[in-house]
Amino acid sequence: MTFEQLELIAPIQQALKDENYVAPTPIQVQAIPYLLKGRDILASAQTGTGKTAAFAIPILQHLVSGPPPPRGLRPIRALILTPTRELAIQIGESLNAYGRHTKIRNTVIFGGVNQNKQTQALRRGVDILVATPGRLLDLMNQGFIHLDTIEYFVLDEADRMLDMGFIHDIRKVLAELPQQRQSLFFSATMPDTIVSLSRKILTDPVKVAVSPVSSTAETIQQYLYLTNKSSKPELLLHILKDPEMDQVLLFSRTKHGADRICKNLHKKHIGAAAIHGNKSQNQRQKALKDFKEGRIRVLVATDIASRGIDIDQLRYVVNYDIPNEPETYVHRIGRSGRAGEEGISISLCEPEENEYIQSIEKLIDQRIERVEDHPYPQTDRPMTAEEKRTFEKEKARKRQEYFDSRRKNKGNRDSGRGYKRNKR
């Protein structure tokens, strides 16, 4: 199948040529013809499959070739709702790329930054709005956005939206959309909650599915290093001695862990930056840009922050820890080997994580290759149930102690400040 066979208009064909896309991906082949005919769609596809183009291209084509909008200020005709600002930005960039030779305008709105630039763009008029739910509702409440002119509605990463607690926000948005519209629903997984949400949104949808979450891309080579918890920093440095690994996306379960890993890499003069929920929007954008442009070698990300990362031809993913949800592992390594490129995933597993590997191997139905020959083999054994209980108890006690002392310090500071203020 070629893009010509999909009967795309010339300006979009040209933009895809500019992007060096040779052929449509399976989700594009399956979805685009129906979407061009105006059908609703329920698509099961994860990031990395080319799903953004699958919904962006038909919307652009409809907007370019359909009847022109009424005169005056451009009404917002398409709304794309997505869970994170990173994803929103990526979608905006994709729309810019695919719509390069058209006059269609889009803007992206998300929280965590000042709203002025966003409201200015809205005032100038846009055809397509890409939004995260919180900021969208906020600007709707302030009267900057009205959804009664929406003709195309996309709910992107629906499962992630629900995981992040956006269900009420989604309902509020749905209540404002016109009944007459085309709706596109994308989700990596399709549990019952998602299917029932989709029923409220879609009318007689076409169902398409590509590489379900349990199937890891065949092009990804997966390796596993069994080691001890304390050896992971050294083992990582050992692995990074390979000069081939010039662009590595590394996952850390926690934000603190991510910062610690970066610090250790900096000590060895390895360029690294972290992106996670505690980083400002500007810091995240800069880290991503530096990574894409080769100024840093390792981008350390938590799972949520990583969601919107879109890097063409990313080869290496490192799991610094093993996720306890096997689906998360599949999502993580799916970031490499995108769109037919060969990818390599390397996982560092400490004794407490051995059991997670078992559930991952069950889900993906294959054995991950063990790297036996390395200087930091696993010599510790996993804790017994009794040891684990004691360990968890001790951890809870320490956490409590930490919060108690923080509260006490805060109390002291607050009363101190009050005293000064009174004195003045």
Give the residues lining the site for ligand AMP (CB under 6 A).
Answer: 21, 24-25, 28, 47-53, 310, 312, 338-339
Residue whose token pair is 């183009």: 53
Residue 60 or 139: which CB sits closer to ligand AMP? 60
Which of 164/339 has CB closer to ligand AMP? 339
Classified as helix, coil or strand, 111 is coil
369 beta partners? 223
Which of 255/331 has CB closer to ligand AMP? Answer: 331
First to last CA, the chain: 77
Whole-angstrom distance, CA of residue 334 vs CA of residue 327: 10
Considering the complex, what minimum distance in angstroms separates the CB of residue 26 from ligand AMP? 10
Nearer to ligand AMP, 232 or 307 (CB): 307
In 3D space, the residue among 107, 145, 102, 110 whose CA is nearest the CA of residue 126 turns out to be 107
Instruction: Return the amino acid letter for 74.
Output: R
CA–CA distance, 320 with 346 (Å, rounded to integer): 8
CB atoms within 10 A of CB 39: 18
Which residues, 6+ apart, have CB-to-CB distance to 67 below 8 Å? none
Q: Report the nearest approach of ligand AMP to the CB of residue 20 (Å).
A: 7
- CA 342 vs CA 224, 247, 310, 338, 388: distances in Å: 18, 14, 16, 8, 39
Q: Report phi then psi at 206, rounded to 5.
A: -85, 135
Give strand pairing partners of 153. Answer: 79, 183
Q: Is 213 helix (H, G, I), strand (E, B) or coil?
A: coil
Q: Closest CB to ligand AMP among 53 and 208?
A: 53
Nearest-approach distance from CB 66 to ligand AMP, in angstroms? 23
The least distance separating ligand AMP from the CB of residue 341, rounded to whole angstroms, comes to 9
Residue 132 beta carbon to ligand AMP: minimum distance, rounded to whole angstroms: 17
User: Based on CB atoms, which residue is closest to ligand AMP, 229 or 292?
Assistant: 292
CA-CA distance, 354 to 322, in Å (whole number)? 8
Instruction: Provide, rounded to whole angstroms, the least separation between the CB of residue 50 and ligand AMP.
Output: 3
CB of 310 to ligand AMP, least distance (A): 5
Of 50 and 92, nearer to ligand AMP (C-beta) is: 50
- The nearer residue to ligand AMP, 93 or 138, going by C-beta atoms, is 93
Going by C-alpha positions, the residue among 196, 306, 208 that lies closest to residue 255 is 306
Residue 47 vs 231, nearer CB to ligand AMP = 47
Q: Using an 8 Å Cβ cutoff, are 244 and 346 in contact?
A: no
State the DSSP code for 222: E
Nearest distance from residue 42's CB to ligand AMP, in Å? Answer: 17
CB of 122 to ligand AMP, least distance (A): 25
Q: What are the DSSP calls for 44-72, one per residue?
A: E--TTSSHHHHHHHHHHHHHHHSPPPPSS
